[in-house]
Amino acid sequence: MELIISKYNYWVYIILMMIGFYAMIGKRNLVKKLVGMNIFQTAIILYFVSTGAKRGASIPILEGGHGEAIHAIHAAHYVNPLPHVLMLTAIVVMVSTFGVALALIIMLYRRYNTLEEDEILELRK
């Protein structure tokens, strides 16, 4: 019980990731596979961002502007900004993959008039 409560962010991301993974592999409709892919990638982004959170911390922006003397910074007061920055890039990659995938689905629909994987395999033979 202690294991689940103290590390609940890991459990959330694992459950989401497995749901997305199952949808990518187990579903036959191409759009459902895409939705699964999106959930899978979002779960990984959630995991990364959650590793940077700290209890009672605020956003990592220094008040005071340029040129003024800034007092000593305690890293424990600010959320770790590096995972957020990395995940910006990962979100861009996710959106680009989604765009390419949707374009491919449109090409497939125009060619085969169906979006079920087994029907497309039947029509290909």
Partner 1 sequence: MIAHLEDIIIQTVCRILIPFIQVYGLYVIAHGHHSPGGGFQGGVILGASFILLCVAYDINEAKRRLNEKLDTMFCSLGLIIYSGIGFVCLVLGGNYLNYSRLGHILPVDPVNARSLGILGIEIGVGITVMAVMISIFLDLASRGKHEEGLE
Partner 2 sequence: MTPPFPILIILVPLITAFFIPIIGWWRRDLCYPLVIAALSVSALSSVFILHLVGEGGTIHYYLGSWDPPWGIEYVIDHLNAFMAIIVSAISLIVALSSKRSVERELPQKVVYFYCLFLLQVTGLLGIVVTGDMFNLYVFLEIASLAGYALIAIGEDGAPFASFNYMIYGTIGACFYLLSVGYLYVVTGSLNMADLSRILPDLYHSKVVLMAFAFFIVGVGLKMALFPLHVWLPDAYTYAPSAVSALVAPLMTKVGAYVLIRIVFTVFKPSFSIELIPGTAILSWVGAIAILFGCILALGQTDLKRMLAYVLIAEVGYIALGVGLANKAGLTGAILHILNDALMMACLFLVVGAILYKVGLRNIHQFTYLHRKMPITMAAFTIAALSVIGIPPTCGFFSKWYLVLGAIDANQWLFAVVLLVSSLLNAILFFRVIENVYFEPANAHGDRGHEEISIDEAPLSMLIPILIVTAGILSLGVLSGKIISSVIQFAVPAGL
Where along the sequence are the contacts to partner 1 (CB under 8 A)? 59, 61, 66, 88, 91-92, 96, 99, 102-103, 106-107, 110
Helices 8-26 and 30-50: angle between axes, nearest 10 degrees: 160
Task: Return the one option of partner 2, partner 1, none that residue 113 interacts with (CB less than 5 to 8 A, by type).
Answer: none
User: How many binding residues for partner 2 (CB under 8 A)?
Assistant: 28
Task: Return the one option of partner 2, partner 1, none that residue 66 interacts with (CB less than 5 to 8 A, by type).
Answer: partner 1
53 sits near partner 2 (criterion: CB under 8 A): no
Quick one: 48 or 78, whose CB is closer to partner 2? 48
b/e map 76-87, b = 16+ CB within 10 Å: eebeeeebeeeb
Stated as kind and residue range, the H or E segment containing 122 is helix 117-124
Distance in angstroms (rounded) separating the CA atoms of residues 8 and 100: 34
Q: In the window 82-111, what residues touch partner 2 (CB under 8 A)?
A: 82-83, 86, 89-90, 93, 96-97, 100-101, 104-105, 107-108, 111
Going by C-alpha positions, the residue among 34, 33, 41 that lies closest to residue 17 is: 41
Distance in angstroms (rounded) separating the CA atoms of residues 9 and 115: 35
CB 43 within 8 A of CB 21: no
CB 7 within 8 A of CB 26: no
Quick one: 18 or 91, whose CB is closer to partner 1? 91
Q: Which residues bind partner 2 (CB under 8 A)?
A: 21, 24, 30, 33, 37, 40-41, 44, 47-48, 51, 82-83, 86, 89-90, 93, 96-97, 100-101, 104-105, 107-108, 111, 120, 124
